[in-house]
């Protein structure tokens, strides 16, 4: 069994990897090559940059399932105006605007998404543990608990 401090070090290392990962602008979704995301599990992070200040907006996770879920499919939901529990839907509710207006607002802002793929052999609990750790540290504005 991994000691607590070793687990904390491992999660902190993963968080550094996520925060150092390449990011793409919200308005540039999807990335050019999505093949690696279509069969991947992992954690993703939406953030906004204003005057060099970085604000965490949403942290989420995805696992691979026989129903077709993957990191790509889960992240793609955040670009669809109809998804009430994704970033655009949560923004729409807090700002009292439509989902489409929320997507357009996000496209106009300096909003980015970055992700970290987590090997399937680490299991779903590893993905969930890292997501919870990232949420607790980053305190994203729109992620529901």
Q: Is the pLDDT of residue 37 over 70?
A: yes
Q: Please provide the distance, in angstroms rounded to a whole number, between the alpha carbons at the two ends of the chain.
A: 28
Decide if 143 is inside a domain. no
Query: What is the model's pTM?
Result: 0.93
Report residue 61's pLDDT band, with 50, 70 and 90 as the boundaries: very high
Which residues form the domain of 37? 4-138
pLDDT of 124 strictly over 90 = no
Whether the predicted pLDDT of 137 surpasses 60: yes
Q: Given a cut of 80, is residue 65 above it in pLDDT?
A: no
pLDDT value at 1 more than 70:
no
Q: How many domains does the chain have?
A: 1
pLDDT of the residue at 133: 97
**Does the residue 145 lie in any domain?**
no
Q: Is residue 84 part of a domain?
A: yes
Per-position DSSP letters for 96-139, written without gaps between them:
T--HHHHHHHHHHTTEEEEEEEE-GGG-HHHHHHHHHHHHHHH-
């Amino acid at each position: 069994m991994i000691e607590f401090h070793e687990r904390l070090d491992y999660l902190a290392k993963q968080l550094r990897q996520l925060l150092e990962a390449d990011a793409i602008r919200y308005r540039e979704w999807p990335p050019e090559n999505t093949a690696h995301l279509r069969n991947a599990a992992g954690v993703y992070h939406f953030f906004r940059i204003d005057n060099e200040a970085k604000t965490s907006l949403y942290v989420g996770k995805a696992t691979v399932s026989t129903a077709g879920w993957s990191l790509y499919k889960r992240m793609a939901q955040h670009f669809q105006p109809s998804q009430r529990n994704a970033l655009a839907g949560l923004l729409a509710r807090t700002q009292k605007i439509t989902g489409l207006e929320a997507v357009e607002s996000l496209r106009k802002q300096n909003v980015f998404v970055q992700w970290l793929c987590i090997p399937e052999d680490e299991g779903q609990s590893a993905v969930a543990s890292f997501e919870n750790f990232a949420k607790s540290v980053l305190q994203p504005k729109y992620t529901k608990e």
